[in-house]
Structure formats: C-alpha cells, structure tokens
Amino acid sequence: MEHHIDTWLKERKDKTPDSAPFVLSHRNLNFSNIMVYDRQLEVNLDWDDAGYHPWWVEMYKTSHKLLYPKTPMQAFWKRVWGHLYPKMNEEDMKENRR
C-alpha cells in the first residue's frame, strides 16, 4: 500500500519540469537587490544565494510574490514571468507553491 507521502512526492515529481539546462540563478531577486536607472536594469546585488540550478528555480523562488495582493512587486513579477515564460499562469504558480 502506498503511503500519503509517497503519493504527494510522486505528484510533485510529475509536475516538476525537466532540470536541463542548468543556468546561473540569483535566487533572491527582489526590489532591494535590483538597481534601475533610466528604466534599465543596471545592477543585481546580493549574489550570496546564487548558483547553477535548473532553469525554473528562479521562477519557483519568486512565484510566491505573484500571489501577494495587488502590489508593485506582483505587477513586476507578472511582467517578468509573462515575458520569459508565457505558458506559466497564476494557477500553476499556486499549485507549485504547495
């Protein structure tokens, strides 16, 4: 008999995208780590969590910010992920955070 945790792990594994390619990921993107000048990204700060991770890790790390009530942070991440990964929607983000 399969335990509840085994079922949960299998569901998560089935929903996890393929890992490749591994990319340089900041893993702590937020407004306090981004410097913008003249509407252009100038600098990303605070790289201590960075590393080479599956391409979707940055999206997972920031997906909870899409679930905030209407804030500038939510609007920002909707634009970023809507541009970079148009197939992802809010329901996917909510499901991935569980």
Does residue 15 contact residue 95 with C-beta atoms inside 8 Å? yes
Secondary structure element (H or E) that encloses residue 54, with its range: strand 51-54
pLDDT at 89: 58
- Residue 3 scores a pLDDT above 80: no
* Burial class of residue 14, CB neighbours in 10 A (0-12, 13-18, 19+): exposed
pLDDT at 67: 66
pLDDT at 82: 78
Map out the domains of the chain as residue ranges. 19-97
Which CA distances in Å does 96 have to 4, 29, 40, 44, 63?
Answer: 18, 18, 30, 26, 8
The string of pLDDT tens digits covering residues 55-94 is 888 877 777 666 666 777 777 777 777 777 776 655 655 5
* Burial class of residue 25, CB neighbours in 10 A (0-12, 13-18, 19+): buried
